[in-house]
Amino acid sequence: MAAQMNGDGASANMELSGEPAVSSTSAEASDPGHDQYKLPDPENKAWHVLLCCTGSVAALKVPQLAALLADSKVHGRPVCVCVVSTDHARHFFTEKDLPSGVHHLTDADEWSAWQQRGDPVLHISLRQWADLLLVAPLGANSLAKLAHGLANNLVTCVARAWPLGRRPALLCPAMNTEMWRQPVTAPQVALLQSWGYTLLPPVEKTLVCGETGVGAMAHLEDICAAVLAALKCAARERAEL
């Protein structure tokens, strides 16, 4: 969507005419397009975490991870979670598996909501809404897409539009051990880290495929702790402005 819509000028139009960034809980949450997508917590009473998931079998754990995050608080403020999934990630869970109150968006939502020039663009509205981007799990294919700047679904469009270095972005790779060991993987990971992504490396365990080795997504408790730590750091930085 980003390639076609940006080429038509829709996203560029939003950037030029949208509301300026603000120093609230969600840096750009004043955008008027949020109501169209019914994004949660329009009054910005919570921290906004965008949990993006791709087509790894570790997506089975997305509902549990969403629940852990949604039950958390940072400096007394709750955490509001919005899940964005690729079509292949949806093979491993359904919307009804997600905790109550957790919003869920897919590629279909991006295309169905935009009708004409001037309408808000979902991947930009999500960027404006969120305080933190978490991609968990990040499969091998999507890892390569991010490293090459591809944006051919809602998850990768959000990542391509994300203000790296100015708002936290965490990656949780998950793949077969030999896929993780491939020579192409380490340079891609290093490149993404150099751009401002934080890596939560995979762990060693017996994988769903039956093989044992490094490649499983980081433990959910560790992912949740890293998200909360990043939000606390963001809170301190805003307090110093």
Q: Which residues are catalytic?
A: 209
State the Cα–Cα distance between residues 134 and 109, nearest whole angstrom.
19
Sign, Cα dihedral of 17, 118, 50, 140: negative
Chain-centre distance of CA 43, in angstroms?
21
Q: Indicate left, alpha or beta for 235 from its phi (over 0: left) and psi (-120 to 50: alpha).
A: alpha
Contact 194, 187 (CB under 8 A): no
State the Cα–Cα distance between residues 88 and 73, nearest whole angstrom.
31
DSSP string, 132-192: EEEEEEE-HHHHHHHHTT---SHHHHHHHHS-BTTB-EEEEE---HHHHHSTTHHHHHHHH
